[in-house]
Amino acid sequence: QEQLVESGGGLVQAGDSVRLSCVVSGLTFTRYAMGWFRQTPERDREFVGGISRNGVNVQYVDSVKGRFTISRDNAGNTVYLQMNSLKPQDTAVYYCAAILRSLPGTVADTASWYHYWGQGTQVTVSS
């Protein structure tokens, strides 16, 4: 069965760093581009960033550029979201998602296009 399991969330202070992990099973991981999204009661699900199948092309929403880094370990079937200089407005439930991609260098930013989703992990940033 296809599974994406996020971990690493929690309560942190503004300015801190945290790394989220998403372990994927039941999929041929290298056939999927991966994305990170976040959601709050006040905001629709937002594309945070994504990484292509080969890990070369990485995209981010403007609000996190320079602070967040997405990487993937294809051997370990894991995608990471490194979050630095966290701000209270980064507080959200963070989800990882997988999307089939035929081209190795493409990234998708539209949530409805993604095929598989994790359960989410809460990140709370206190001021």
* Confidence at residue 30, expressed as pLDDT on a 0 to 100 scale: 96
pLDDT in tens, the chain (127 residues): 999 999 999 999 999 999 999 999 999 999 999 999 999 999 999 999 999 999 999 999 999 999 999 999 999 999 999 999 999 999 999 999 999 988 899 999 999 999 999 999 999 999 9
* Confidence at residue 28, expressed as pLDDT on a 0 to 100 scale: 96
* Confidence at residue 2, expressed as pLDDT on a 0 to 100 scale: 95
In this structure, the number of other CB atoms found within 10 A of the CB of residue 18 comes to 19
* Confidence at residue 102, expressed as pLDDT on a 0 to 100 scale: 84
Quote the distance between the C-alpha of residue 89 and its chain's center. Answer: 16
* Confidence at residue 101, expressed as pLDDT on a 0 to 100 scale: 87
- From first CA to last CA, the distance across the chain in angstroms is 40
